[in-house]
Amino acid sequence: MRDLEGLFVVSLEQAVAAPYCAMRLAEAGARVVKVERPEGDFARDYDYDVEGLSAHFVWLNRGKESLRLNLKDPDDRAVIGRMLERADVFVQNLAPGAAARLGLGAAELRAKRPELIHVSISGYGEEGPRKDLKAYDLLVQAESGLSAITGGPEAPARVGVSVCDISAGMTAYQAVLEALIGRGRTGEGRTIEVSLFHAVADWMNVAYLHTRYGGKPPKRPGLRHPSIAPYGVFDCADGAILISIQNPREWRALCAEGLEAPGLADHPDYHDNVARVAHRPALEALIGAEFARWPREALAARLEAAKIAYGRLSSIEEFARHPQLRLIRVDTEKGPVELVAPGAVLRGVDRAPGPVPALGEHDAALRSEFGG
């Protein structure tokens, strides 16, 4: 029996954030009904790269049932109403205020069923002067200041995954689990509001604190650490590698075994981290000249022997062949596909993923079950 088995979740969802939250609930054993507009979640058409299916959709919707409803139709609103009479958790990421206008707001639903856990995911929250701004991931990366500290000195950059959407989905999932524990103690559900902006803003606390109290807005370091040196990327003879020197022992080991220059450890320009950061360009040039002589794998072996923290700058093709990568197999309407496995390993727990639903695959069964 999986941890959330017996839990019933209705998720009126689209795109990434709410589907991420609901996918994690399904993965833990909850029954999740994904309510889609008649034409389907628009994420189904982001691309057709996975045997004709969307990569985002395959990733985020395993283990769910798909039900198409037109919520402008009173009969279809009645169907979701009957589902919510039995639901433990309701997740929705419509525009702010839209759920309430459909009679699906937290105040109305929880007045009838105080035990319901009601989750609203939005771009900027349910209140405030910018609550109605359209919010897509890259736009929120820019608004939150994340883009200002991402990229290199020459230009800001987008984080390469939908980090604001994912952070909101993760935050919502955490809040639901917390609410379930609370409900187990009190019998009361909870009203949860999560936004892309506020979820990623929480992750921006260090940058905020440096700026607010230290007067030092972080700069865009590219593949360098803004306040530690050497900590960044260096070209090898056939690729690139990153190193991270965090303490005096590692610095001495790098000098003696990585650079074969033990006397460098006590050089006045490089003897401690403050000095190394102040003389970073010269230090990086020195390290770069030595590393460029070595093939990447030979250099990696040398660094590993010296117990120096390093990482290969991997392409996505190299990532797909990474020896540490764990994969799962998921059934789809186009046949089985392999996905990267979830990050947490739960020993002794069945985490077999459910299939990815075709559009409206469960319409007939669910309408029969809930009187539609």
Catalytic residues: 165
Residue whose entry in the numeric block shows the structure tokens 């559009």:
359
**Residue 67 shares a structural domain with residue 172:** yes
Provide CB contacts within 8 A for 332, sequence distance 6+.
50, 51, 53, 58, 355, 356
Round to whole Å and give the CA distance between 157 and 152.
8
Task: Report the pLDDT value the prediction gives residue 132, as an integer from 0 to 100.
Answer: 87
> Does 47 share its domain with 150?
yes
- Per-residue confidence in pLDDT tens, the chain, 372 aa: 889 999 999 999 999 999 999 999 999 999 999 999 999 999 999 999 999 999 999 999 999 999 999 999 999 999 999 999 999 999 999 988 889 999 999 999 999 999 999 999 999 998 889 888 888 999 999 999 999 999 988 899 999 999 999 999 999 999 999 999 999 999 999 999 999 999 999 999 999 998 999 898 888 888 888 889 999 999 999 999 999 999 999 999 999 998 989 999 999 999 999 999 999 999 999 999 999 999 999 999 999 999 999 999 999 999 999 999 999 999 999 999 999 999 988 888 878 899 999 999 999 999 999 986
Specify if 68 maps to a domain: yes
140 and 267 belong to one structural domain = no
Instruction: Report yes or no on 221 lying in a domain.
Output: no
Last residue of a domain, one of 312, 336, 361: 312
Q: Is residue 24 part of a domain?
A: yes
Q: Considering the domain boundaries, does residue 29 fall inside one?
A: yes
Whether 118 is covered by a domain: the verdict is yes
Q: Are residues 117 and 48 in the same domain?
A: yes
Q: Are residues 292 and 332 in the same domain?
A: no
Count the domains in the chain. Answer: 2
Task: Tell me whether residue 45 is in a domain.
Answer: yes
- Let me know whether 356 and 299 are in one domain: no
Same domain assignment for residues 91 and 163: yes
Distance CA 112, CA 340 (A): 41
- Predicted local confidence at residue 354, as pLDDT: 94
E runs forming strands in the chain: 8-12, 31-36, 64-68, 89-92, 117-122, 151-152, 155-156, 190-195, 231-236, 239-244, 309-312, 327-330, 337-340
Q: Which residues, other chains included, contact 122 with Cβ-Cβ below 8 Å and sequence gap of 6+?
A: 93, 95, 96, 131, 135, 193, 194, 195, 196
- pLDDT, residue 349, reads 82
Of 287, 312, 337, the domain-final residue: 312
Tell me, yes or no, whether 263 and 337 share the same domain.
no
Ordered DSSP codes for 350-366 = --PPPPPPPTTTTHHHH
CATH code of the domain covering residue 42: 3.40.50.10540
Edge-first strand order for the sheet with 309-312 is: 231-236, 239-244, 309-312
pLDDT at 372: 62
Same-domain pairing of 182 and 293? no
193 & 84 share domain: yes
CA distances from 212 to 207, 215, 216, 318 (A): 9, 6, 8, 40
Three-class SS state of 206: helix
Which structural domain, as residue segments, surrounds residue 159?
8-204+324-369
150: CB partners within 8 A, 6+ apart:
141, 156, 157, 158, 159, 220
Q: Is residue 212 part of a domain?
A: no
Residue 152: its pLDDT value, please? 87
Strand-pair category, 231-236 with 239-244: antiparallel
CA 14, 17, 21, 24 dihedral sign is positive
Give the pLDDT confidence score for residue 131 in this predicted structure.
Answer: 87
Domain CATH code at residue 245: 3.30.1540.10
Instruction: Verify that 161 and 26 share a domain, yes or no.
Output: yes
pTM (whole model) above 0.85: yes
Residue 89 domain flag: yes
Lookup: tokens for 99: 């759920």
Residues 299 and 190 in one domain: no
Amino acid present at 136: Y
Give me the residues paired with residue 11 across strands. 34, 91
